[in-house]
């Protein structure tokens, strides 16, 4: 019953973008912000995720950065899949990936970003 009261008071449909993480249960104000929950559980907050800045770096980069990425994840001799001569290469075949990178690539394409063709991965 307290959970229902917590959720009813925490949900503010008239203010969907209102980021105040407080609710009231039996007259007691409950802070459910991420920082408070981490403090309560004794969790250390790790470093910020590097995915978004790295993705932006690759998207805004030239061919050298893309070649660097290809050399990290692919076996020697891997080639970019055909692309327009006017654009930078964007697609790699998962069959050319190193084993660990291929496993993560397949996991990503089959579970996180579900696509019809899971044999190639596109940088975007």
If you write DSSP's letter for every residue of 22-66 in order, what string do you get?
A: EEEETTEEEE--HHHHHHHHTPPP-PPPSHHHHHHHHHT--HHHH
CA 55 to chain centre: 10
pLDDT tens string, the chain, 124 residues long: the values are: 667 776 676 666 666 565 677 777 888 888 877 777 788 788 887 777 787 888 888 888 888 988 998 999 999 999 999 888 888 888 899 999 999 999 999 998 888 888 887 788 887 6
Domain assignment present for residue 46? The answer is no
68 and 33 within one domain: no
Q: Specify the number of domains making up the chain.
A: 2
Q: Does some domain include residue 100?
A: yes
Please give the pLDDT value at position 53. 86
- Residue 92 near residue 117 (C-beta atoms within 8 A): no
Burial class (CB in 10 A: 0-12, 13-18, 19+), 61: middle
Q: What is the pLDDT of residue 100?
A: 95
In a domain, 11, yes or no: yes
* CB proximity list for 65: less than 8 A, separation 6 or greater: 57, 58
Predicted local confidence at residue 38, as pLDDT: 82
Q: What residues make up the domain containing 61? A: 51-122
35: in domain: yes
Residues 64 and 103 in one domain: yes
Whether residue 114 is found in the same domain as residue 64: yes
Same domain, yes or no: 92 and 34: no
Residues 68 and 86 in one domain: yes
pTM of the model: 0.55
């Amino acid at each position: 019953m307290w959970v229902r009261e917590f959720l009813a008071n925490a949900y503010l449909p008239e203010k969907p973008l209102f980021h105040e993480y407080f609710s009231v249960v039996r007259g007691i104000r409950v802070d459910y912000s991420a920082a408070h929950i981490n403090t309560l559980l004794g969790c250390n907050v790790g470093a910020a995720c590097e995915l978004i800045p790295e993705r932006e770096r690759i998207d805004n980069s030239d061919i050298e950065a893309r070649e660097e990425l290809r050399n990290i994840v692919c076996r020697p001799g891997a080639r970019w899949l055909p692309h327009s001569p006017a654009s930078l290469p964007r697609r790699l075949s998962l069959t050319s990936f190193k084993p660990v990178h291929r496993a993560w690539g397949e996991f990503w394409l089959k579970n996180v970003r579900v696509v019809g063709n899971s044999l190639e991965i596109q940088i975007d």
